Amino acid sequence: MIIVYKYGFPAGVDTPDISSFVVKLETWLRMSGIPYDTRTGTRREMPVGKLPAARIDGQLLADSSLIIRHLQEHDPRALTDQHLTPLQRAQADAIKALIEKHLYFISFYGRWCVDAGFDRYRPLLADYASRSAAAWQRPLLPLLLPLLLPRVRRGKMRQAWEQGTGRFAPEQVVAMGCAALQSLQVLLDGQVFLFGDQPSTVDASLFGQLHTLMKHPFPGPLQDYALAQPGLVAYHDRIWQRYWRSPEPALRTSAAAAALRTD
Segments of the chain with pLDDT less than 50:
248-263
What dihedral do alpha carbons 140, 144, 146, 152 form, nearest 10°?
-140
Quote the CA–CA distance of 253 and 248 in Å, as a whole number.
Answer: 10
Structure confidence at residue 12 (pLDDT): 75
Query: Whats the size of the chain, residue-wise?
Result: 263
- Cα-based torsion angle of the residue sequence 30, 205, 20, 228 in order, rounded to the nearest 10 degrees: -110
Whole-number pLDDT of residue 260: 32
Q: Which amino acid is at 108?
A: F
Task: Report pLDDT for 74.
Answer: 97
Residues 23, 7 contacting (CB under 8 angstroms) = no
Find, among 170, 204, 173, 52, the residue nearest to 103 by Cα.
Answer: 173
pLDDT digits (tens, 9 = 90+) for 143-180: 999 999 999 999 999 999 999 999 999 999 999 999 99
**What secondary structure does DSSP assign to 117-139, as a single string?**
HHHHHHHHHHHHHHHHS-TTTGG
Residue 167 is classified by DSSP as G
- What is the pTM for the complete model shown? 0.92
Which residue intervals of the chain are DSSP H helices?
20-32, 64-74, 86-97, 104-112, 115-132, 141-163, 170-188, 201-215, 221-227, 230-239, 255-260
| Model pLDDT, residue 10 | 87
pLDDT at 11: 79
CA distance 211 to 240: 9
